[in-house]
Structure 1
Amino acid sequence: MANSPSGESLIQRLVRVLHAFDAEHPELTASELAVRADLSSSTAHRLAADMAEEGLLHRTHGGRFRIGLVLWELGQRSSSYQEFGQIALPFMEAVHVTQRQNTSLAILDDQERTIIYLERLISQDVPTDLTKIAGRLPVLSTAAGLAILAFSPRHLQERYLGEPWDPTTRDSGITEGGLRRRLAQTRTDGYVHLRGVTVAGSSGTAAPVFGPGGRVLGSLSIVAQVDQVNLQIQVPALLAAARGLSRQMGFRGTPGPPRRN
C-alpha cells in the first residue's frame, strides 16, 4: 500500500495503532483509536477492521478492539527475549524467595532509549515500584538501566550521556560527572544501587547479565522501599543470581569493563 498523504508508511500507521493500547486503555473503539493514534477516523476504522480480520486485533461483541492473540502467539513462538525470560526465572525466584523483595529482569531498547522489563516477581505491594512486565523506564534514572549501560560499549555510553536526558534524570540534580563516576563504580563493584531517583522512597539495586563474548544482555534488579534495604545481604544474592544466569546464557569468564569500541 502506498504511503499516506503525510508520507507515513502503512507499517508506521499499524505500529501507531498498536501503541494506542496500554494498561489504562486495553480496549478502544475505532473512534478512540483514531484519537490516540492521531489518525483520521476513516483510516482508523479501516486499519482496525483489517487488523482484526488478521488476528492482530480482536473485536469484542460490543464493537471495541483490543490486542489480538496472534501477536502474543508470534512472540511466544519466536522471541529470543521470551527465552531469556524463561531461563532467568529460576534465578529470579532464588532472589525473590530469599530476599522477599520485588525482582525484575530488564533489557535495553536502544532505539527508544529505555529499558523494558521482561519478567517480574512480586513479593509485596511496594507502592513506589514502577516496574511491570513490558513496561518501560528511562535508562539513566534506573538501577537496571545503569547496570546495563556501565558494561555497554563506550560509544553507547557517550551517546546516552551526551544526548538530552529524560526529565527524571534531568530533575534529579545529578551531573554528567556524577553519572560517569557512578558508571565507573558500577564496573568496579559489579552492581549499582540507586535511592529515591525515579520515585521518592523507592530503592533499586541491579547487576548486569552477560552472554557469549562478555556482551551485556540485561540486568537483574531488586526494588524495595528505602527502609528495607540491606545491601550486605541483598547484593551477594543478586550477584550470585546474575552470575548464574550469565553462565546459563553462555558467558564464560569474569565480568569486566566493556570493550572500548
Structure 2
Amino acid sequence: MRGLAGKVGIVAGGARGIGAATARRLAQEGAHVVIGDLLVEQAEETAEAIRAAGGSALAVALDGTNADSQAAIVAAAKEAFGGLDFYHSNLAGGTGGDIDALDCPVEVLDNSFAINTKSHFLATQAALPSIIARGGGAMIYTSSGAATGGAAWQVAYPMTKNAIHPLARHVAARYGKQGVRANVICPGLVLTEAVKIHLTDEYVEKGLKAIPHTRLGQPEDIAAAVTFLASEDGAWVNGQVWHINGGAQMRD
C-alpha cells in the first residue's frame, strides 16, 4: 500500500491475535512498528519475528488504562524512530462476569469501561499531539461487531465498545483539518488464539453457518483493513465505522 514506508506507528494490544497480525503487515509495508502490550514477553516475540523477517519493530510494556503508560509508549516511538504517524488502539477485554443487565456486577462494568473505552480515550490524548506535529496521520480504533449486534448474553462489553464510535467521529470532526483521520474497525468472529481457546468447535461451526461467506475471519483480514486506513490509500476515509465480518452484519 502507498505511503507506509518509513512511517512510525503504534499497535496497542499487539502481542498476539489481531494486533500481532497488524504489526506484521505494517512492518511488511515498510513501517516502523512499536508494539505495546501487558504481555511483554509475547510482544517481544512478535517484534523479534518482525525483525528477523527484515522489518522494524520495538516492543514496549503498555497498560492502556494508565495515562502515564500511554504517554510512555508515544515517547518510546518518538525516541526510537523520530515521531508518530499513526496509532492503532486495539485493546479489548473485561468480559468475565459480563452477563445480562440485571445480573452484571457494577465492578464488571467498571473494568469493561476501563479496558474498552478509557484506554482508547487515553491513547487519543497521548498520540494526537505527536500525530498533529507530523502534519497529520491516523487514529485507528478496534471496536467489535458486538457494539451494534445486540446480544442477550452480555451488556457491558457491547456498551463500552460502542463508545469508541463517537470518540473516533469526534477526533475526525475536530482534528480533520489538521490532517488527522480517525476510523473504527468492527471485527466479526475472527479466529484468533484467544477465540480458539475459549470457544467450542460447536460455537465456531454455528458462527460459520450464520454468515454469507465460505469461512470465518482470520487476524490477517483485520490487519489488511487497518493497514489500508493507516496508508495513503486510505487518505480520504475519515470518521467511519467499518464492519469487517464476512457479511455477518450488513450495514450502511
Q: Same fold (TM over 0.5)?
A: no
Larger gyration radius, structure 1 or structure 2: 1
TM-score by length of 1: 0.28
TM-score by length of 2: 0.29
